[in-house]
Structure 1
């Protein structure tokens, strides 16, 4: 007897041990596969998608994968065993008493129907909770990343109150969910207990009448107990299935979005053999649809091959937007952008960006080593190119003095380094790529005069043979450009060299006088 119990105990332990390992492997593979597919799709979406989505919304959708993974592994496996037990014990109950089986079946149908009455309301509350959880995540993300500004502006209390307001909204959603759950549970308990009481009365009456023995009555009570548990698990499975369907709908919303590039294999790629000048014809662009104001309008411009073109203008004149259009982040509302006689939309956008280097105002520093931040797109870092790029951006000496040199880890978005050092790392990244087309959007505005002078001299040599577009305010950055484009309210108002435009004493002259401190 003792030996049998030991064998039973060991068997259960081994089965549980194996089951847990199998579930871990299956759930990990499913989770990685789901999230990987989601990230692949996310990376194919256009920049306009990320302009309108909160960080919390995207993170919350990634959490939906956990629901799906749990449903496909532990929950689905559990319900298979529950369904098997339900069938076996149901047959046994039918053999014992047809009348009791019919009552149990009718009670179970009412039990399930009551659950289905609440599914629509549960779905609505789930969407509300998702929305509030996404806002909550975004608020926390902003609090952590904006801590420096929060302390500087002494707005800790207001920001905390904003977060507490979100918690209040989340609480009201949870109260509504709890209320719905209590109504649902109250009804299910009533139906279940009424069913059990009826079965007990029938079984007891049958024992009194002699149609059932006392042992059979006790057996029926045990069978009912064994049937109730799978029934509850089946109902829970229905809830989980609804939750997963909602999660799948939310993920499908992302997967239904149109990719940044459709059929890239049919697009042009390869070496640009002809005229590598960038031709812009009657370009117009607006961010939010046909009724929003035009950020750029009637832009006709040739950015000549192998030359430096500077774009200047007041804040909000459309300079950065024009650069983003040239990089293919957005599609023009009207007009064309041509390279080598072909529209930009005809090229494989990944191939085109591979020909381009860019330093944007909001360039991102990843939370990894300085070397990996510079050689961000290479699997294997070319050390010679790395050193040359760092020296070109005048940051090699600073990196060399660090304890781990190029292996030094920097924080998210460049925490732990100054704004000037951050910009120099971004310049190094563009130089390391050694592109044919270079776009610099306020790339040196955080540098001191000495560093800017040295970097500008280095970049002048690097520009040789490259098509360069510079967005800047400083005179030292734009005065040597082969052509200067002046934008005002989204339109080109002047075009020429520094000498030509200053002689005109018009838009550029005023910018020079007011922003570049040239004087009258």
Structure 2
């Protein structure tokens, strides 16, 4: 009893440690991958790979330990059986080899079935998550029936592959049963004949039958080990597919973690195309200077590349051609401004030589698809801090004009929001995201439609609050509203992935180009 308890305790301890190690390593790897990986991978695919660790754990803790004892029993009872009757031993070994060969013949087909089931299960899990997350739009579109049918078709495909897998398993087991039963009948015949011929006593025959049972058990366990080994190998390959991907920041490359923040950002002939998006670049030959300590607004029609440009500035993607670098502005003795040292000089630093993490720590960001965690409001503002700086927390909330709302809640800043907490409006969500970006006290702020869900009064208050905070910081704002961009030091107009105009609000209105049309259309809509 104590031995069984000790064995169970050891296995539980080992399996728990393995679980923690495998999942921790996998999650750590996911954290090191570039954002582009998550753009193309389905949620269900990642979750299925995480679930695969169970098969690896089962193989390492259960099967591996059992097969050691099985091998020992096989050798011992094999010798005993050979001692009693060599012919019976030869038949048992031959049939066991045939049994093993029969199982091995199905391994390739089992792998194929497992891969198909994995793909369909991944699609099923992704589809289920989409159904739950998109329930509001499904109801608004009256698409309940069509979406349920889509899900049922996925279930039908999953059922189809499950049936095929079951049929293969049943056929394999039927063949194995035929081999084993034939072996038992033939060995019984040989043992009975040996008794009749006087080679074995009746007691010896009973001993042989017992020994044969003890000999067969390890064979069954080893066959099970072989199948578990294949399952674990397939699961390990799936995990290694992710582990084998290049990190966003390779460990063998040394990147700078400190640099002069008082520099302009230069984009030189930057071109970018999304993977799998054909040959049409999203950004085409972008040449742009983002001055330090000033506000640059980026405007343009939908699909013009504004958000993609921000993501390149955040190092989520790397340009296929061209460069993004930091350059210190010089004023020469003759008074000619905007003069920059040539490429390769000490004052120019390409962003690719800067650590991704260190760069983003200097960036305060509000994206259109900003995420709210299922946690307290305080933790959603100070996401990266273990110990929250209360003074910075309150200052960030005041600047985002959300302090009064938070204080009106029963638990204040420690009210839980998100999927498992209180629901918040889109406007409140945006203000929390603005507070999050301000809390970091960054040198570079990037806002992508950061106030499009706010009413005019809230937007005006926040813009007024942020004006002082923006002093001495580089700010890049993507927006459509005239009220958000007209006071920017520089306005960049984009169209079809290209920069078509650069200037102040007054200069661009006077030029009566693309910006003038955008402003005119907005004013007409406002009338």
- TM bracket (short chain): over 0.9
Could you list the runs of 5+ residues in structure 1 that have no partner in the other structure?
1-12
Determine the C-alpha separation between the residues in 1 that align with 2:49 and 2:474: 41
Q: CA deviation at 1:415?
A: 6.7
Q: Determine the structure 1 residue equivalent to 2:71.
A: 83
1:298 to 247, 265, 285: 285
Q: CA deviation at 1:412?
A: 3.1
Q: Determine the structure 2 residue equivalent to 1:57.
A: 45
Judge conservation of contact 1:414–1:422 (CA < 8 Å) in 2: no
- Deviant stretches of 4+, over 4 Å: 516-520
Deviates more, 1:115-124 or 1:226-235: 226-235
Determine the C-alpha separation between the residues in 2 that align with 1:405 and 1:103: 78
Judge conservation of contact 2:375–2:421 (CA < 8 Å) in 1: no
Q: CA deviation at 1:408?
A: 1.0
Determine the C-alpha separation between the residues in 2 that align with 1:213 and 1:158: 74
Judge conservation of contact 2:493–2:514 (CA < 8 Å) in 1: yes
Determine the C-alpha separation between the residues in 2 that align with 1:414 and 1:461: 34
Question: Is 1:330 matched with 2:337?
Answer: no
2:270 to 283, 286, 306: 283
Judge conservation of contact 1:366–1:414 (CA < 8 Å) in 2: no
Q: Determine the structure 1 residue equivalent to 2:338.
A: none
Determine the C-alpha separation between the residues in 1 that align with 2:211 and 2:116: 41
Judge conservation of contact 1:282–1:299 (CA < 8 Å) in 2: yes
Determine the C-alpha separation between the residues in 2 that align with 1:290 and 1:403: 48
SS of the residue corresponding to residue 34 of structure 1 reads: helix
Determine the C-alpha separation between the residues in 1 that align with 2:406 and 2:524: 33
CA deviations over 1:298-357 (Å, ceiling 9, x no partner): 211100000000000000000000000000000001111001411110111111111111
Q: Determine the structure 2 residue equivalent to 1:211.
A: 199
- Structural mapping, 1:38-117, within 5 Å: 38-117=26-105
Judge conservation of contact 2:273–2:283 (CA < 8 Å) in 1: yes
Determine the C-alpha separation between the residues in 2 that align with 1:42 and 1:35: 10
Q: Determine the structure 2 residue equivalent to 1:127.
A: 115
SS of the residue corresponding to residue 266 of structure 1 reads: coil
Question: Is 1:367 matched with 2:374?
Answer: yes
Determine the C-alpha separation between the residues in 1 that align with 2:110 and 2:277: 37
Determine the C-alpha separation between the residues in 2 that align with 1:96 and 1:382: 80
Determine the C-alpha separation between the residues in 1 that align with 2:149 and 2:216: 47
Question: Is 1:347 matched with 2:361?
Answer: no
Please give the root-mean-square deviation of Cα atoms over the aligned residues, in Å. 1.5
Determine the C-alpha separation between the residues in 2 that align with 1:515 and 1:180: 65
Determine the C-alpha separation between the residues in 1 that align with 2:144 and 2:409: 34
SS of the residue corresponding to residue 246 of structure 1 reads: helix
CA deviations over 1:196-240 (Å, ceiling 9, x no partner): 111000000011111101111111111111222221111011001
2:410 to 403, 408, 411: 403
Q: CA deviation at 1:17?
A: 1.8
CA deviations over 1:411-436 (Å, ceiling 9, x no partner): 23987110000001100000000100
Determine the C-alpha separation between the residues in 1 that align with 2:180 and 2:506: 90
Q: Determine the structure 2 residue equivalent to 1:220.
A: 208
Q: Determine the structure 1 residue equivalent to 2:23.
A: 35
Question: Is 1:438 matched with 2:470?
Answer: no
SS of the residue corresponding to residue 435 of structure 1 reads: coil
CA deviations over 1:444-466 (Å, ceiling 9, x no partner): 00001111110010111110000
Q: Determine the structure 2 residue equivalent to 1:179.
A: 167
Q: 1:253 to 1:266 in 2, by over 3 A?
A: same
Q: Determine the structure 2 residue equivalent to 1:24.
A: 12
CA deviations over 1:67-114 (Å, ceiling 9, x no partner): 111111022112222222222211111111111000000000000000
Q: CA deviation at 1:44?
A: 0.9
TM-score by length of 1: 0.95
Judge conservation of contact 1:44–1:260 (CA < 8 Å) in 2: yes
Judge conservation of contact 1:392–1:458 (CA < 8 Å) in 2: yes
Determine the C-alpha separation between the residues in 2 that align with 1:139 and 1:129: 15
Deviates more, 1:261-270 or 1:163-172: 261-270
Q: 1:418 to 1:156 in 2, by over 3 A?
A: same
Deviates more, 1:466-475 or 1:83-92: 83-92
Determine the C-alpha separation between the residues in 2 that align with 1:83 and 1:518: 81
TM-score by length of 2: 0.94
Q: How many residue pairs end up in the alignment?
A: 507
Q: 1:518 to 1:509 in 2, by over 3 A?
A: farther
Determine the C-alpha separation between the residues in 2 that align with 1:328 and 1:315: 22
Q: 1:324 to 1:516 in 2, by over 3 A?
A: farther
